C-alpha cells in the first residue's frame, strides 16, 4: 500500500485519510475512526462482534451443556433424598414409634 498521506477516506472520497484501520486495512478520515482500547479502529470494525460467531456458538453450547449437567445432578440429588425419605417407616411419621415400649 502507498503512503497514508496519499490516501483518501474510504467513506468520504474528498477527505484526506488520517488513519488506517488495523482490522480491515482501509484508510479513514478523523471523523470515521475512533479510539478503542489502545488502537484506532473504524466504526464498521468496532460494531463487529469481537469473538466472532464460532466462539459465541461454542460458549452457548458450553453453557447449555453445563446447564443440562447441573439439572441432571440436581434431579439425581432430589431423587435420592426422596428415596431416603421413603425408607423411613410410617410409624415415625405417625408418631407411634415412640409409643412402642423398649426393644
- pLDDT tens for residues 64-85? 999 999 999 999 999 999 999 9
Percentage above 70 pLDDT, the chain? 86
Q: What is the pTM of this model?
A: 0.43
Question: What DSSP state is assigned to residue 98?
Answer: G
Radius of gyration of the chain (CA): 33
**Total residue count of the chain as it appears in this document:** 103
- The residue behind cell 478503542 is 36
Where residue 1 falls among pLDDT bands split at 50, 70, 90? very low
Percentage above 90 pLDDT, the chain? 27
Question: Residue 52 phi/psi, 5° resolution?
Answer: 80, 165
Q: Note the pLDDT of residue 49.
A: 64
Burial tier of 44 (Cβ tally within 10 Å: 0-12, 13-18, 19+): middle
Amino acid at each position: 500500500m502507498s503512503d497514508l498521506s496519499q490516501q483518501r477516506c474510504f467513506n468520504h472520497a474528498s477527505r484526506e485519510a488520517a488513519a488506517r484501520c488495523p482490522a480491515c486495512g482501509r484508510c479513514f478520515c478523523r471523523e470515521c475512526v475512533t479510539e478503542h482500547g489502545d488502537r484506532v479502529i473504524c466504526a464498521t470494525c468496532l460494531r463487529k462482534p469481537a469473538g466472532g460467531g464460532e466462539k459465541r456458538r461454542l460458549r452457548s453450547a458450553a453453557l447449555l451443556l453445563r446447564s443440562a449437567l447441573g439439572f441432571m445432578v440436581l434431579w439425581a440429588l432430589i431423587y435420592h433424598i426422596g428415596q431416603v425419605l421413603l425408607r423411613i417407616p410410617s410409624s415415625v411419621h405417625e408418631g407411634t414409634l415412640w409409643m412402642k415400649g423398649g426393644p
